[in-house]
Amino acid sequence: MIPKPERIFARDSEWEALSAFVERVGPRPRPRLGVVSGRRRQGKTFLVESLARKTGGFYFGATEGTPTESLNLFAAALARYMGASAPFRFATWDEAIGQLFAVSAERRALMVIDEFPYLSKASPALPSIIQQAVDRAVFDEVPASLLLCGSAMSVMGRLLAGNAPLRGRASMELAIRPFDYRLAAQYWGITDPQLAVKVHAVTGGTPAYLPLANDDRPDGLEDFDDWVRRTVLSPLTPLFKEARYLLEEEAEVRDSAMYKSVLAAVATGNGTRGGIASYVGRKASDIGHHLNVLEDSDLLRREVDVFRSSRSVYRVCEPLIHFYEVVMRPQWGPLESGRAEFVWQDGQASFSDQVLGPHFEEMCRQFHLLEFEVLGELPGEIGAGTVVDPVRHEQIQIDVAVFAPAMRGERKRVLSLGEVKWGKVMGHRHVARLRRARDLLDAKGFDVRDAKLVCYGGAGFEAGLAQESDVLAIGLDQLYG
C-alpha cells in the first residue's frame, strides 16, 4: 500500500481503497475509472491531492466558470504537469479528455479531476465524453487511470446511476463520510465524554470545522457555553455562516428559501411528510421534489419505522445545520449584531430538547455499529420505531432497536430494544416500559426470545438497574469505549 502521509488523521480505510485503485494491475492493460464523493469539508480534496502527489499524478481542481474558461484552465494545468513551455490549446473537451488519457497511459500516472460537478454543469456532455474515452481505452487496452471527485452529492450520486453514461464503467465508488463520534472526539482532543457529546451535537464529525473554529477547543465542560458563543455564534469566525453555505453549494437547489424551510421543519421536530408540509404551508404532494433533492444531497435522511414500515420520519443529517436551524436562524439578526450571549441564553432550552436529545439518540444507534460484541452477534438493521399498546391506548417509543440479520422464511429477530435519555436519570420504570414493548412485539410475531432491554443514559442510572440478565445500562463511558 502507498504510505499514507502523516498529516492525514485517520481515514485509513479510505486511503487503503485509493491506494488499491492506483496499484491494481490486471493481467491485461485496462483503464480504471473511480468516483469519489463527499460533502465539503470532509477532507476529500486533501486525500486525493495527497494521493496524486505521492504517486506523481495529475490533479486539477475545477471552479465555477464558463465552458471556455473551464477548458482553458484545465489545459493550462495539464501543460504545467507535462512541463510544457506554453499552455495547451483544446478546441473541445473531446480533445482534452483524449489527451488526458494519453498522458495517463504514457506515464502510468493517476489523473484526478476534483469538483467535477462544476465542469459537468458548464459542459453537460462531459460524462458522455469520458464514457466514450473509457470505452475506447478498453478496446485499445490503454492503461489510463482517472478519478472523478465532487462535493455536490446529488450530482455525484447520479454519475453511475440508472442510464447515466458512466454506469458500469467505474471500478471504484468511494464516499468520504464524516468521522464517527469517537474519532471526532479524538480529532478535537476531547477526553470528557459529556463534553464530547455536546460538541459533536454542534459540529458533528466534519474535520474542517475545527480550523473553521480557529482551532478553538472548549477547555473543559464548564467552558462549553463560552465556546459556543465565541465560535459558531460569533460573526468573527468562518464557522458562523457555514451552515448557510452548505445548502447553497448544492447544484440542484434552486428556491433555497423553500429548502431552508423544509430543513427548519425537520430540525424542530416536524419529521413526518405531513408535518413538514404543514410547517411550510404547502400540500404534502408539493414538497416531494424538495425532499428528494435534500436526500440526494445527504442533508436529509428518511428513516422508516422499524415496526411499522408504512410510517417514516425525516431527520437532518448534518449536525451543524440542525444547530443552525434551531438556535441560529430564528435569531439571525441579533447574531449578526454580535449578541451571541443573548441568543445562546435564549436558545439553550431549544438546543437541549431539539438538538442535543435527538443527536444523543442517533449516537446510541451508531454505538452498535462500533461495538458489535455488546449484543453478542453482528447486528443487521438498526433503527427506531413505535410499538402500539392497544390495551393501554398508548404508544411506546423505542429509540434504539437492533435486529439480527434477516433470514428468509424466519421471523424478524430482535436483539435489543432501547430507550435513550440525555438529561434524566434512567430507572426501573424505563425498563418496565421496554419489557411491555417486548411482550407486545412477541404477540405481533417478532422473535424476541433473546432481546435485551437497554437503557442508554447521559445522566446515569438508578442503583441496581441492570441486575437482571436481560437488562443492560450503557452510559457515556461505554459509548466512548
Q: What pLDDT was estimated at residue 247?
A: 78
CB atoms within 10 A of CB 231: 25
Contacts of residue 255, Cβ cutoff 8 Å, sequence gap at least 6:
none
The residues, any chain, with a CB within 8 Å of residue 215's CB and separated by 6 or more, are: none
Name the one residue in this structure whose C-alpha cell is 493481467.
27
Dihedral sign for Cα 418, 440, 403, 161, please.
negative
pLDDT in tens, the chain (481 residues): 999 999 999 999 999 999 999 998 666 788 999 999 999 899 999 999 999 999 999 999 999 999 999 999 999 999 999 999 888 999 999 999 999 999 999 999 999 999 999 999 999 999 999 999 999 999 999 999 999 999 989 899 999 999 999 999 999 999 999 999 999 999 999 999 999 999 999 999 999 999 999 999 999 999 999 999 999 999 999 999 999 988 777 656 777 889 999 999 999 999 999 999 999 999 999 999 999 999 998 999 999 999 999 999 999 999 999 999 999 999 999 999 999 999 999 999 999 999 999 999 999 999 999 998 899 999 999 999 999 999 999 999 999 999 999 999 899 999 999 999 999 999 999 999 999 999 999 999 999 999 999 999 999 999 999 899 999 999 999 999 8
Please name the helix (run of DSSP H) or strand (run of DSSP E) that holds residue 248, with its range, or none. helix 242-248
What is the pTM for the complete model shown? 0.95
Query: How far apart are the C-alpha atoms of 37 and 382, rounded to whole Å?
Result: 25
Which cell numbers in the block locate residue 20? 488499491
Is 458:360 a contact under the CB 8 Å cutoff?
yes
Contact 294, 259 (CB under 8 A): yes
What does the pLDDT read at residue 251? 52
Q: Are 384 and 365 in contact (CB under 8 A)?
A: yes
Helix ranges (DSSP H) in 113-192: 116-122, 126-140, 153-158, 181-188
pLDDT of residue 25: 67
Residue found by looking up cell 442510464 in the block: 163
Answer for the pair 425, 457: CB distance below 8 angstroms, yes or no.
Answer: yes
Which cell goes with 461? 442510572
Distance (Å, whole) CA 465 – CA 419: 13
Three-class SS of residue 421? strand
- CA torsion 84-89-93-96 (nearest 10°) is -20
Amino acid at 386: T
